Structures are given as structure tokens and as C-alpha cells.
Amino acid sequence: MGYYLLYFITGIIVGFVNTLGGGGSSLIYPLLIFSGMSPHEAIGTARPAFLLQGFSGWLGFLSKKLNLFPFNLYVGIAALLGSIIGARISLQVPPEIMKKIIALVILMVTMYILFGKKMNNTIIRPQGKRFRPRNLPLNLLVFFLLGIYSGFIQTGIGFLIIIALMLLNKMNLTAANSVKALVILLAGIPALIIFARAGMIHWKEAGFLAAGTALGSWWTSRWSVEANEDTVKKIVAVIAILMAIKLLVT
């Protein structure tokens, strides 16, 4: 039962950090691998948590009347299509190589958390529910590519989505997070199905992770807790770096 409680608590932390920006998922893969799963099983078992995180976060933003429809749906579908390709590629990579890839991606993501520039929350906010992007075809292409990455490994996808939305559409952090939630939800559907069909999901463990992640994501999307954001992210980053190093040397 101890592991399951740890999964639930980790899920809450991941939901909190990911809804604010991203990087919390760097804790999940090492935790699952150290508990005895293969790299592919770890990626698969984390999928329900990512899916539920996107769903609960999206509902939270909806409850606050922040829904950039139909733009969020368009880029979400583009990411969904890319995710199909990424998930299939991921399952073809040998486990030992995948473990090293996970560790290196975690290190890069956590270095960004620790040393990257703080995201500017004063960039122009899109007005109205029917937000119109500056260049929809370019947005669709970028989110298709992001979908491939999401299907392949997922870690750090929140940062990449927010950066893309800020650069391409001049969104502020709050608006970008609301779009990100639906993108993660839609991109997670085919990846979940593909990993489930491959037998790479431990459903009981996934349930505890998903419940914690949904709780953390919902609470964070509903209430502002930015006062402790930097501290929490730095703690998560340090723990993730230690885990990634252990993955590289074992």
C-alpha cells in the first residue's frame, strides 16, 4: 500500500506543477522504473494520469470561463494525430535505450526549470472565446510535431506547448495553460490506446497516479497558488535530476 500512497502523492505534485507550467512528470517515470517497471511500462502507466490531468485541468479552466474555442480544438486535433506516430515510434525503441532517453530528457527539462527564464505573464491576452490565431496553418504544423513528441515520451510537453503558444500567438501564461490542458487531453487519447493494446499499462498503479494528478490539476487550475510556484518547481527539479542520474548509471 505504501507504493500506492506514494503514487497518489506524486500525482498531486505532478498535477500542481504541470498545470502551472510543466516539468512535474519528470518525477513519474523514474519512480515507476525504480518500482520495477520497464521504461515502456512506465511511459504507458503514466498515460492515464496525463490524460486525466488534461481533462480535469480543462474542466477547471472552463469553470472559470476561459475556453479559447475553436482554436484549442484545432491544435488539439493536430497534436492527437501526431501522438499516434510518436507512440508507435516509442514502442519500437529498445528498453535500455529508452531508459537513457528518459533520463536525458528529464535532465534537459529540469535544467530549464532551474535556469530558464521565468515565463512572462504580461504578454497580450487573447480576447474573447473565439480566439483567432495569427497563422493557423503554422500552428497546426507545430502542434502536430508537438503531438509526435507527446506520444513518444510526454515529459516536458507542457513547457513546449506554452512556449509555442506564446511565440506564435502572443498569449499570456493563463491563456496558454487553458489551451495546453485540452491539447494534452486530446493528444493523450491515442497514446493511451496504443500503449494499452501493447500491454504496457499497470492499471492499478495508473489509477492512483491518475487520481492524484487529477486532484492536483483541478485544484491548481481553479485557484491561484503562484506564491509557492518557484519553490515547488525547484524542489521537483532537484529530485528529478537525482533520479535521472541514477537512471543513467544503472
- Rounded to whole angstroms, how far apart are CA atoms 30 and 114? 19
Is residue 224 within 8 Å of residue 60, measured between CB atoms? no
Tell me, what's the pLDDT at 25?
A: 72
Tell me, what's the pLDDT at 37?
A: 93
Tell me, what's the pLDDT at 14?
A: 83
- Rounded to whole angstroms, how far apart are CA atoms 43 and 191? 10
Nearest of 170, 186, 180, 82 to residue 132 by alpha carbon: 170
The answer to pTM > 0.75 is: yes
- Rounded to whole angstroms, how far apart are CA atoms 30 and 40? 12
Tens digit of each residue's pLDDT (9 = 90 or more) over 20-43: 656 667 888 988 998 899 999 999
Burial readout 205-223 (b: 16 or more C-beta within 10 A, e: otherwise): bbbbbbbbbbbbbbbbbbe
CA triple 94-95-98, angle to 5 deg = 85
Set of cell numbers at residue 227: 506564491
Is residue 27 within 8 Å of residue 10, measured between CB atoms? yes
Of all residues in the chain, the percent with pLDDT exceeding 90 is 38
Tell me, what's the pLDDT at 122?
A: 41
Tell me, what's the pLDDT at 15?
A: 79
End-to-end, the C-alpha distance of the chain in Å comes to 26
pLDDT mean over 131-149: 90
Set of cell numbers at residue 138: 503554422
